[in-house]
């Protein structure tokens, strides 16, 4: 008996998305079922190309349809259509230039030097590597480090409102205060100017269609995060911590700032999790093990993963060749960033499938 499209869809109901707890047919992920004799082909359209369980879902889908009577050959193509919050749903509250940006994700921490910029850059590159379209906005108006970390310091082209072309490096669209200022001169940026700059970066840069716009925040709990939350519908924030910070007040401060701003905390990253010797590979857990993960769990925050303290990460950052695209960085260190990206994309998808994005916050007098 010839196989039917209904039978194929019925068979695929055994394939469950582990995060959304529904089957892929119910979620409308199965597209373009074509049956030619005993050959069945179809697409599974996930909510992110960075889905960590993509291969497993493909395997299960293949197996389920292969088991049907009358099927000889099965071809499964995995595709992705990143979902967004408000912007993608046509309820744009932010600037029109952001209407093609599906997810705005801020990377912050309670204090300086914990690796926010390093994590932001490598996260952006790891998402890009999966096939997503990605931008990186340097929200560190006072001390931009994106130009150095990506070895890109050109003056952006385009003039006037809504007309700035972002720079490009390694396939990322970029904007940084560093592109606009003389690197030799000290930067004096007052509070109100920060708000203007943030709004301009969001509203005047031609970001185009992006699955993810990653925003690197300055240290602490200040103006930039507030301006962002007031100016654009943020999908959420990633908080970076070092292992010893978890017992300190800083990471709590960052999380409670985002909560006050009604920005969902998408996850905690433990940077410099353990020291790994660049020459012998020896691992030393200087600050103990598992603290950040346990803390995240106690706060009901997803733990996105840890990144080792490895000399190659610092060298790559200084030379403008980030770890993820630097072949001198050991593969398992690069994989640590890939895991972060997969976990982040996963939690963004879960959030977007569950609840609409938060409205922009309004604070009287600001
Ligand atoms: N996992 C790592 N292994 C080795 N070095 C790292 C790692 N993460 C960050 N670094 C280095 O630590 C320094 C601080 O990192 P980074 O600039 O990313 O921190 P930051 O939190 O953005 O700092 P700031 O608060 O000044 O913006 C940099 O020299 C960077 O190369
Ligand atoms: Mg930084």
Q: What is the pLDDT of residues 125-150, one digit of tens each?
A: 999 999 999 999 999 988 899 999 99
Model's pTM, two decimal places? 0.90
Shortest CA distance to 196 belongs to which of 159, 228, 149?
A: 228
Q: What is the pLDDT of residues 175-223, one digit of tens each?
A: 999 988 776 665 666 667 888 899 989 989 999 999 999 999 998 878 8
Task: Please tell me whether residue 344 adopts helix, strand or coil conformation.
Answer: helix
Q: Determine the pLDDT at residue 142.
A: 84
Ranges of H-type helices in 68-131:
116-129
Q: Determine the pLDDT at residue 143.
A: 87
Q: Determine the pLDDT at residue 162.
A: 72
* Ligand 1 site, residue 312, Cβ cutoff 6 A: no
Q: Determine the pLDDT at residue 194.
A: 87
Q: Determine the pLDDT at residue 93.
A: 65
Domain 87-354 classified CATH 2.40.160.210? no
Q: Determine the pLDDT at residue 89.
A: 42
Cα(226)–Cα(218) distance, integer angstroms: 12
- Pick the atom of ligand 1 nearest to 219's CA: 25
Parallel, antiparallel, or unpaired: how do β-strands 39-46 and 73-80 relate? Answer: parallel
* Ligand 1 site, residue 113, Cβ cutoff 6 A: yes
Cα(28)–Cα(319) distance, integer angstroms: 45
* CATH 3.30.300.130 domain locations along the chain: 5-80
- Token pair listed for 232: 């654009």
CA 126 to ligand 1 center in whole angstroms: 17
Cα(90)–Cα(303) distance, integer angstroms: 31
- Token pair listed for 361: 């916050």
* Ligand 1 site, residue 112, Cβ cutoff 6 A: yes
- Token pair listed for 14: 């055994």
Q: Determine the pLDDT at residue 366.
A: 40
Shortest CA distance to 236 belongs to which of 271, 208, 268?
A: 268
* Ligand 1 site, residue 352, Cβ cutoff 6 A: no
- Pick the atom of ligand 1 nearest to 272's CA: 1
CA 120 to ligand 2 center in whole angstroms: 9
Give the dihedral sign, CA 196/119/261/204.
positive
Cα(42)–Cα(68) distance, integer angstroms: 15
* CATH 3.40.50.300 domain locations along the chain: 87-354
List the chain residues with pLDDT less than 70: 86-93, 159-161, 183-191, 245-248, 275, 278, 284, 286-289, 355-366
- Pick the atom of ligand 1 nearest to 308's CA: 1
Parallel, antiparallel, or unpaired: how do β-strands 134-138 and 167-169 relate? Answer: unpaired
Residue written as token pair 């008996």: 1
Cα(257)–Cα(225) distance, integer angstroms: 9
Cα(300)–Cα(279) distance, integer angstroms: 37
Cα(314)–Cα(307) distance, integer angstroms: 12
Shortest CA distance to 293 belongs to which of 314, 318, 313, 268?
A: 268
Q: Determine the pLDDT at residue 170.
A: 96
CA 99 to ligand 2 center in whole angstroms: 27
CA 202 to ligand 1 center in whole angstroms: 25
Q: Determine the pLDDT at residue 88.
A: 41
State in words which class domain 5-80 has: alpha beta
Cα(55)–Cα(63) distance, integer angstroms: 12
Q: In what order do the strands lie in the sheet with 39-46?
A: 30-36, 39-46, 73-80
CA 322 to ligand 1 center in whole angstroms: 11
Length of the chain in terms of residues written: 366
């Amino acid at each position: 008996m010839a196989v039917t499209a209904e039978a194929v869809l019925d068979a695929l109901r055994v394939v469950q998305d582990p995060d959304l707890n529904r089957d892929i047919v119910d979620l409308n992920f199965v597209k373009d079922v074509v049956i030619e004799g005993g050959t069945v082909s179809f697409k599974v359209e996930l909510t992110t190309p960075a889905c960590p369980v993509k291969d497993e879902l493909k395997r299960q889908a293949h197996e389920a349809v292969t088991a049907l009577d009358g099927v000889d050959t099965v071809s499964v193509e995995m595709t992705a259509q990143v979902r967004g919050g408000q912007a993608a749903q046509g309820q744009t509250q932010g600037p029109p230039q952001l209407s093609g940006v599906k997810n705005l994700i801020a990377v912050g921490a309670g204090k300086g030097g914990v690796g926010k910029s390093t994590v932001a850059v490598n996260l952006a590159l790891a998402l890009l590597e999966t096939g997503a379209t990605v931008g990186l906005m340097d929200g560190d108006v006072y001390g931009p480090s994106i130009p150095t970390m990506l070895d890109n310091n050109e003056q952006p082209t385009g003039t006037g409102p809504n007309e700035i072309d972002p720079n490009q490096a390694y396939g990322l669209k970029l904007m940084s205060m560093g592109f606009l200022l003389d690197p030799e001169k000290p930067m004096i940026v007052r509070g109100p100017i920060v708000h203007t700059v943030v709004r301009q970066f969001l509203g005047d840069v031609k970001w185009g269609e992006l699955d993810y716009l990653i925003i690197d925040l300055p240290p602490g709990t200040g103006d930039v995060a507030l301006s962002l939350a007031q100016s654009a519908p943020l999908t959420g924030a990633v908080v970076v911590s070092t292992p010893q910070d978890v017992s300190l007040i800083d990471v709590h401060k960052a999380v409670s700032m985002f909560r006050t701003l009604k920005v969902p905390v998408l996850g905690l990253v433990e940077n410099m999790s353990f020291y790994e010797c660049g020459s012998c590979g020896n691992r030393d857990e200087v600050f103990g093990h598992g603290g950040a993960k346990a803390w995240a769990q106690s706060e009901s925050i997803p733990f996105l993963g840890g990144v080792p303290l490895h000399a190659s990460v610092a060298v790559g950052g200084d030379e403008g060749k980030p770890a993820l695209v630097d072949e001198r960085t050991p593969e398992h260190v690069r994989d640590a960033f890939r895991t972060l990206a997969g976990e982040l994309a996963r939690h963004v998808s879960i959030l977007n499938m569950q609840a609409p994005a938060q409205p922009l916050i309004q604070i009287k007098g600001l």
